[in-house]
Structure 1
Amino acid sequence: VNDAPSLKQADIGVGMGITGTEVSKGAADMVLADDNFATIVEAVKQGRKVFANIQKAILYLMSCNVGEVLTVFLMTLLGWDVLKPVQLLWINLVTDTLPAIALGVEPIEKGIMNKKPRGKNSNFFSGGVASSIVYQGILEGALVLTAYGLGLHVLPRGTNPHEDALTMAFLTLGLIQLFHAVNSKYVKQSIFQKRTFANKWFNGAIVLSALIMAAVELPFLTRVFSVSELHLDQWLTVLGMGVLMIVIVEIVKFFERKADQRNN
């Protein structure tokens, strides 16, 4: 009974579920069902995992949407051919479902318990997430527009280069987001580590989404999505933009880690 005032005063009052009194359990914010203090450590670890996974999903979805908005806006501003509604809907259907869900079930990051506690005023956009959304969205849009420009001026094929260029922009926007899903597994850590592909659900989601995205190139679907069949060099350009997305983000992450080390 004497513990009740202390439990109320504490930031998080923890009571014992087995040996604790009913008064202390009623005053506590959290009750240990097994009376084991190690459970608190595990609860903190799981809480940090959930928070980190939500951040990854937010980073991925919002940066991809920023990239889409910038692409359509700049295409319209420059008077270029604009991605059609059915194409944008297809991209959102493919990229905003399975990969985002898979990011939400990522395993616990290595060293997550070595991080400092989050401040009371922290949110899902803290820890570099907000700035990452902005620059990664801009980068994605820039790469898509680059693919369009290359398709129109450098790699024209057939009688309708505008259709080829728009197809390249469409596929680049869709597939680059799947490459970016790998980037989003870590806000600042490098993806070049063994644990990156430990989540089999994520791996399956990326492969399946990539196949669904590329399926628009099947002859009976090209008319539905208003696309042309690309040549090998055009496909390599599309995939190259995705690889470039990973390379540039990795370089930025490297300098972010160096800056954090200096600040600490």
Structure 2
Amino acid sequence: MVTDGLPGVALAAEPAEKNIMEQAPRPPDQSLFAGGLIQQIVIPGILMASAAFVLKLIAISKNFSVSTQQTMIFTMLCIVQLGNALSVRTVKPMFKSSPLRSPTLLLTITLTIALQALLLYVPLLRSIFKIEKLSSQSLLLTVAVSLICVVAIELSKMFVNSKWGPGKQELSPTARQTRP
């Protein structure tokens, strides 16, 4: 709830991109999911699941307890969801768009990270959520895998936009029929 709810509200308050009105409208007979939207949903999901699997394998190889492994994956998913919120806010690459454009999103990301830290390091909260305190090694591994996953999501977004993004949308069935 925290990793999706707060950033989702902040994204709703995000100012529109400057050139949004210069983009051609979607043809009326074109699917809402055209233009690479399916790929922009499925690929990050696959990358997140893959990162969780890889992190689990690393944690097993380091002989971390099962509860520590679960906490690492829980924390990784929190971090990756926050990175994904930064990624989906624009069709441009994340690093080409100022994060200061949306102070509300930055505030919610900071708040979410603080809440995650409280969950990890306040004994009462750990016992309620049945998670473990992460050692510096397990936290470092978790953050590293999370950041690699966020970079992979951003690279996949750039690839999808280069193939199906704005200005490269597939022809609608009607347009295909009328083309010579």
State the TM-score, normalized to the length of structure 1: 0.57
Query: Is the CA contact (8 Å cut-off) linking 1:176 and 1:241 kept in structure 2?
Result: no
Distance 1:196 1:247, change over 3 A: same
Q: How many residues align?
A: 167
Q: 2:77 aligns with which of 166, 173, 184?
A: 173
Written as runs of structure 1 = structure 2, the 5 A alignment for 1:237-248 is 237-248=141-152
Per the alignment, residue 182 of structure 1 pairs with: 86
2:159 counterpart of 1:255? yes
**Structure 1: runs of 5+ lacking an equivalent:** 1-92
Query: Is the CA contact (8 Å cut-off) linking 1:171 and 1:214 kept in structure 2?
Result: no
| Structure that is richer in helix per residue | 2
**Structure 2: runs of 5+ lacking an equivalent:** 170-180
Per the alignment, residue 109 of structure 2 pairs with: 206
Aligned-residue offset at 1:123: 5.5
Q: Please report the RMSD computed on the Cα atoms of aligned residues, expressed in angstroms.
A: 2.2
Aligned-residue offset at 1:207: 0.8
Written as runs of structure 1 = structure 2, the 5 A alignment for 1:76-225 is 93-122=1-30, 124-154=32-62, 156-157=63-64, 161-186=65-90, 188-217=91-120, 218-225=122-129
Aligned-residue offset at 1:153: 1.5
Task: Give the letter aligned to residue 216 of structure 1.
Answer: L
In 1: Cα distance, 2:126 partner to 2:117 partner: 11
Instruction: Select the structure with the greater relative contact order (CA < 8 A; seq sep ≥ 6).
Output: 2
Fraction of identical pairs, as percent = 26
Point out the structure with max Rg over C-alpha.
Answer: 1
Distance 1:122 1:101, change over 3 A: farther
> What are the Cα deviations for residues 4-30 of structure 1, in whole angstroms up to 9, with x where unaligned?
xxxxxxxxxxxxxxxxxxxxxxxxxxx
